[in-house]
């Protein structure tokens, strides 16, 4: 009898098979863990990519063209019509936000008055931070009178002409388009053959459009849309999987 008891106590315990509910719980837990990990991974990359996209859209990646002053040298006056040489001076950035140098190859500027093109200038840009664009023999009328100047004992009436300045610049691996808005020129009637009047332009910044930056931003926007579609694609399958587990 003692031998029988010893054999009974030495026999290994019996393993009971897992029921269906336990197996289902383990499978659900594993699926939940996998889904949570997947969404956490996609969420981290989405946050990083969206942050990078927002920064790319708001960081000024284009160089600044800042309007400085305008000059007018009157050549002839006929019944309120002026013929003059006009000059536009503005500062140009020669470095980008990444401390790299910008090499300009050519500069093309056009003046418009009442939606009519008056003159076009094409010149090469030297390595300097100041650019002076000169427009020769421009015919225009005064938009606003009311200023009187006395030079060397002779009185003259002065007025302002407001024109739109558009320009394009060819830079290394990039092409820039710019618009300085309403540019003010002062022209005076005097007994002198020519007179030069410099008008401060309140350091108004010109709106510059970069073809390269525009392409990069479009590419980032396309990648963001693709990433959103890829991250949203498995959602219906996951919902269906959870519905099967719940049932």
Q: Which residues is 113 bridged to in the sheet?
A: 116
Residue from 174, 163, 172 nearest 209 by CA: 174
**With contact defined as beta carbons under 8 Å apart, do 163 and 152 qualify?**
no
Pairing type for strands 174-188 and 154-171 reads antiparallel
Angle between helices 235-246 and 20-58 (to 10 degrees): 160
pTM (whole model) above 0.75: no
Report DSSP state, residue 122.
Answer: E
Kindly list the distances between the CA atom of residue 187 and the CA atoms of 82, 103, 132, 148, 162, in Å, as whole numbers in the listed order. Answer: 8, 35, 18, 11, 11
| Residue 21 β-bridge partners | none
Closest CA to 91 of 63, 115, 111: 63
Q: Digits of tens for pLDDT over the chain (247 positions)?
A: 555 555 555 555 544 454 555 555 545 555 556 656 666 666 666 677 777 767 666 666 788 888 888 888 888 888 778 899 998 888 888 887 666 788 888 888 999 998 889 988 887 655 578 888 889 999 999 888 876 655 544 567 888 888 899 999 888 778 899 998 888 888 888 645 455 656 665 556 788 888 888 887 788 778 777 777 766 655 555 555 555 555 5
For residues 126 and 166, give the distance between their C-alpha atoms in angstroms, rounded to a whole number: 19
**Tokens 């010893």, residue?**
6
CA distance 62 to 7: 89
User: What crossing angle do the helices spanning 211-232 and 20-58 adopt, rounded to 10°?
Assistant: 170
pLDDT at 193: 43
Are 224 and 49 within 8 A, CB to CB? yes
């Amino acid at each position: 009898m003692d031998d029988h008891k010893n054999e009974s106590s030495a026999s290994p315990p019996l393993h009971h098979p897992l029921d269906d509910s336990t197996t289902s719980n383990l499978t659900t837990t594993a699926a939940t863990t996998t889904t949570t990990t997947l969404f956490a991974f996609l969420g981290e990359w989405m946050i990083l990519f969206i942050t990078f996209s927002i920064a790319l859209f708001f960081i000024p990646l284009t160089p600044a063209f800042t309007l400085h002053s305008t000059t007018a040298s009157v050549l002839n006056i006929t019944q309120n019509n002026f013929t003059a040489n006009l000059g536009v001076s503005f500062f140009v950035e020669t470095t980008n936000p990444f401390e790299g140098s910008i090499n300009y190859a050519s500069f093309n500027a056009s003046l418009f008055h009442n939606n009519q093109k008056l003159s076009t200038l094409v010149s090469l840009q030297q390595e300097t931070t100041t650019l002076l664009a000169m427009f020769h023999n421009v015919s225009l009328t005064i938009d606003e009178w009311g200023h009187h100047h006395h030079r060397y004992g002779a009185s003259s009436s002065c007025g302002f002409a407001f024109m739109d300045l558009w320009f394009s610049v060819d830079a290394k691996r990039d092409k820039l388009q710019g618009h300085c808005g309403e540019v003010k020129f002062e022209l005076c009637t005097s007994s002198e053959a020519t007179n030069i009047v410099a008008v401060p332009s309140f350091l108004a910044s010109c709106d510059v459009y970069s073809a390269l930056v525009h392409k990069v931003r479009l590419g980032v926007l396309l990648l963001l849309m693709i990433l959103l579609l890829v991250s949203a694609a498995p959602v219906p399958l996951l919902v269906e999987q959870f519905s099967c587990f719940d049932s």
